[in-house]
Amino acid sequence: MTWAIALAAVAPLGACDGLREDLLRADDPDIISPDAVKSAAGADAVRVGALSRLRDLGPGGGGSNGTVWTQGGLLVDEWKSSNTFFQHNETDERKVQDNNSVVLAMLRDAYRVRTSAREAINALTEFKPAPAANIGQMYFAMAFAEMSLAENFCNGIPLGDASTGAIEYGPPLSNTAVFTLALAHADSGLALSTATDAASVAIANQLRILKGRLLIDLGRFSDVTAVVSAVPTNFIFNATFALTSGDNAVWSINTNQKRFVVGDSVDQVGRIFNALPFASAKDPRVPVVGTSTGTSPAGRGFDNFTNQVTQSVFGRSDLIPYVSGVDARLQQAEVALRADDFAGMMTILNALRAAPQSLGTVTTPAMAALPVPTTKDAAIDLYFREKAFWTFSRGQRLPDLRRLVRQYSRTAANVFPTGTFFKTNTPYGPDVNFPMIREELANPAFTGCTDRNP
């Protein structure tokens, strides 16, 4: 069986008019022998494999399970379970058990990206060191996987290494320690991505946006602007899809399978407190078909019970960004928020609203400017609402809600979905992240999450 997969970096139009470079489009052999890797072509094949695993981590893959991005969105307010799988229903209810097989798949996806990226770094360094930015991109993949672990899972993440063929167990690490490691890997990638050709510049921009996000995760807001200010707003690093290489995971889990429906602030049993009305806001950044209450014109979901609400942002083979220049601007807007510069924050946010932005199949129309908030709480609410609609189902909502507790002194009860869970008529649970799965107990250094704090 052969398949093709592509990741595309779109260079700023001012620098290279309409240039798009396919960073990955290759057949995946069933087996690559150790000897085959010991060449320039073999090293590049390992790089291609690492990028394939990176795609499956967030925007693609997952099958009927979903991915880190869609599962994180299910734990918060982006998605609601219309599935019969208890693994999805307990995530939606915020009561995730440590034997959840879907969470196990998420965890393995992240670990596999780390291992594959390290294998590629080793092989490229020995057999194909030029262009150096290709090695830099593998540091991007590794750092992105580490960031995904720390943003979505509890404290106490074990990070081992199996890239040499021998398993090395790692001790449990705090989210902060994993973010710090990811930041070091992003810096290693940037040091290798200094060439001025279009592909190298694109990889450097990917790493800059990733580094900005890691700095925010670590609370180092004053360091962010210098890192991301040079990234053009129209820069995008996309995952791409095709009928022969796999489907966009958001389309698959929602539009095709109807296992998830777009989240809302209300459902059949009443109000969901703290949840944003993604389904009912009629925001052009998240167009939908269907309603959360009444008789949905989209019918019912997979469980034949939940009102179907279908997103219209991403089609079956539509691009979905890992990182984009919009992310860079949102990072700068949050820096202004932290400095109590609400006018500066709104200058950035309103500039995004005023210009067409590409989101999957959607090009947003110009939207009216929003007024400058007059209080800090109002500014925080506005910023995180705007960011949520710009980054819908791209793996950023759960980390942002965690940060609202960790960095903005809000309580989980005032941030995460609360009220009555519609499938059980019982209160939502307390989870604000995913647990490490009990299979990790095979690691002699690991005994479970050190805590489940945001």
Listed by start position, the domains of the chain span: 6-244+317-442
If one counts every other C-beta atom within 10 angstroms of the C-beta of residue 395, the result is 24
What is the average pLDDT score of the chain? 92
* Token reading at 323: 């990182």
Q: What is the dihedral of CA 200, 233, 398, 434, to 10 degrees?
A: -10
> Is 6-244+317-442 assigned to CATH 1.25.40.390?
yes
Is there a contact between 151 and 399 (Cβ–Cβ < 8 Å)? yes
pLDDT of residue 250: 96
Is there a contact between 113 and 449 (Cβ–Cβ < 8 Å)? no
Q: Is the pLDDT of residue 9 over 70?
A: no
* Token reading at 448: 């479970």
The residue ranking higher by pLDDT, 13 or 413, is 413
Write out pLDDT tens, residues 189-204.
999 999 999 999 999 9
Residue that has been written with the tokens 């110009």 in this structure: 366
Is there a contact between 390 and 352 (Cβ–Cβ < 8 Å)? yes
Q: Is the pLDDT of residue 14 over 70?
A: no
Q: Is the pLDDT of residue 4 over 80?
A: no
If one counts every other C-beta atom within 10 angstroms of the C-beta of residue 293, the result is 14
pLDDT of residue 12: 42
pLDDT of residue 30: 41
CA distance 220 to 180: 11
Which amino acid, 158?
P
CA distance 230 to 439: 43
Is there a contact between 64 and 257 (Cβ–Cβ < 8 Å)? yes
Q: Supply the DSSP string of 379-428, one letter for each residue.
A: HHHHHHHHHHHHTTTSS-HHHHHHHHHHTT---GGGTS-BSEETTTTEE-
Going from the C-alpha of 177 to that of each of 151, 184, 199, 217, 298, the distances in angstroms are 12, 11, 31, 11, 45
CA distance 411 to 404: 8
Angle at 237 between CA 182 and CA 257, to 5 degrees: 95
CA distance 299 to 307: 6
CA distance 248 to 232: 25
Q: Is the pLDDT of residue 164 over 90?
A: no
20: confidence class by pLDDT, cuts 50, 70, 90: very low
The 8-class DSSP code of residue 283 comes to -
pLDDT of residue 160: 86
CA distance 73 to 395: 7
Q: Is the pLDDT of residue 74 over 60?
A: yes
User: For a pLDDT cut of 70, what percent of the chain falls above it?
Assistant: 92
pLDDT of residue 34: 56
Put residue 425 in one of left, alpha, beta given phi > 0 → left and psi -120 to 50 → alpha.
Answer: left
CA distance 356 to 359: 10
Going from the C-alpha of 83 to that of each of 39, 258, 353, the distances in angstroms are 46, 8, 35
Radius of gyration of the chain (CA): 21
CA distance 245 to 249: 12
Is there a contact between 328 and 212 (Cβ–Cβ < 8 Å)? yes
Write out pLDDT tens, residues 420-434.
999 999 999 999 999
End-to-end CA distance of the chain: 43
Is there a contact between 101 and 435 (Cβ–Cβ < 8 Å)? no
CA distance 444 to 426: 37
